[in-house]
């Protein structure tokens, strides 16, 4: 599993009790959130659960979970070390690129971390601060559609959108339950959702253009999302792939 470049993220919401309508673009995603996490991190399971809450309560929010690898070599006393089976050095690298770009909010490279709109970071388990960061934002400005063109799924952007932007397909496993036998979380059965396995560049848009071939999800992933990221890091469009 390797990812070619980092992808920014934004979650746009008021709270899990109410799906807000801020008058954004009809059909546009209500946002994207990415969680940096690790099965070797004792404080990460509550953040994993919070992401699961968002997935269940916000179907128009693209929520993704990226497992970093810098916990894999840490030894936790007699419990030893635990290698997260979903970890990837490329995801750690993307998190560092976010930090280097100068995020607002809780700076640093840490877990659990949620990055909002590729611009603001909060502790991933801090529910109150997360929703404070997300509460006043509407839908993403670019409505991404995935259409069937003669049996081939293709990504369609609004006719007036010119970019520049990278168009990415993010492959993920819908859910997994892992018995952890070592490390800080030894003895626990951890549940993770929307576990990213790979990110693929589909195209670079620098002006209006034709629909873009979606391609096929790469195993072991069983689902995907499409993200539109402009050069400065902002995510301006997103959609889950049809099931």
Whether residue 21 is contained in a domain is answered as: no
Residue 232 confidence (pLDDT): 76
Whether residue 17 is contained in a domain is answered as: no
CB distance 143 to 237 below 8 Å:
yes
Residue 141 confidence (pLDDT): 87
pLDDT tens track for 181-225 = 999 999 999 999 999 999 999 999 998 889 999 999 999 999 999
Instruction: Give the pLDDT band of residue 13 (cuts 50, 70, 90).
Output: very low
CA-to-CA distance for 115 and 130, rounded, in angstroms?
Answer: 9
Whether residue 116 is contained in a domain is answered as: yes
Give me the domain span that covers residue 60: 31-240
Whether residue 2 is contained in a domain is answered as: no
Instruction: Give the pLDDT band of residue 10 (cuts 50, 70, 90).
Output: very low
Sign of CA dihedral 160, 215, 89, 81: positive
The mean pLDDT of 48-69, rounded to a whole number, is: 93
Domain count, the chain: 1
Whether residue 70 is contained in a domain is answered as: yes
pLDDT reading at 7 higher than 50: no
Non-local CB neighbours of 119 within 8 Å, separated by 6+ positions: 8, 10, 103, 104, 233, 234
Tokens representing 112 are 């659990």
Whether residue 1 is contained in a domain is answered as: no
Total-model pTM: 0.86
Residue 110 confidence (pLDDT): 96
Whether residue 156 is contained in a domain is answered as: yes
């Amino acid at each position: 599993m390797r990812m070619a470049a980092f992808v920014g993220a934004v979650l746009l919401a008021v709270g899990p009790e109410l799906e807000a309508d801020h008058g954004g673009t009809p059909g546009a995603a209500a946002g994207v959130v990415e969680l940096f996490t690790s099965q070797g991190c004792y404080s990460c399971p509550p953040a994993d659960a919070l992401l699961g809450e968002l997935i269940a309560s916000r179907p128009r929010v693209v929520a993704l979970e990226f497992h970093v690898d810098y916990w894999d070599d840490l030894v936790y006393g007699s419990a030893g070390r635990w290698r997260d089976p979903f970890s990837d050095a490329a995801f750690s690298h993307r998190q560092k690129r976010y930090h280097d770009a100068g995020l607002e909010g809780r700076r640093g490279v840490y877990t659990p971390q949620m990055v909002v709109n590729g611009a603001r970071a909060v502790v991933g388990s801090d529910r109150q601060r997360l929703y404070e960061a997300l509460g006043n934002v509407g839908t993403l400005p670019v409505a991404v559609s995935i259409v069937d063109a003669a049996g081939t799924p293709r990504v369609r952007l609004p006719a007036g959108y010119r970019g520049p932007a990278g168009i990415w397909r993010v492959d993920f496993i819908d859910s997994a339950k892992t018995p952890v036998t070592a490390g800080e979380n030894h003895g626990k059965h951890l549940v993770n959702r929307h576990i990213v396995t790979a990110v693929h560049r589909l195209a670079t848009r620098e002006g209006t253009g034709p629909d873009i071939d979606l391609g096929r999800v790469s195993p072991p992933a069983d689902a995907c999302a499409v993200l539109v990221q402009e050069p400065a890091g902002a995510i301006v469009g997103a959609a889950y792939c049809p099931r």
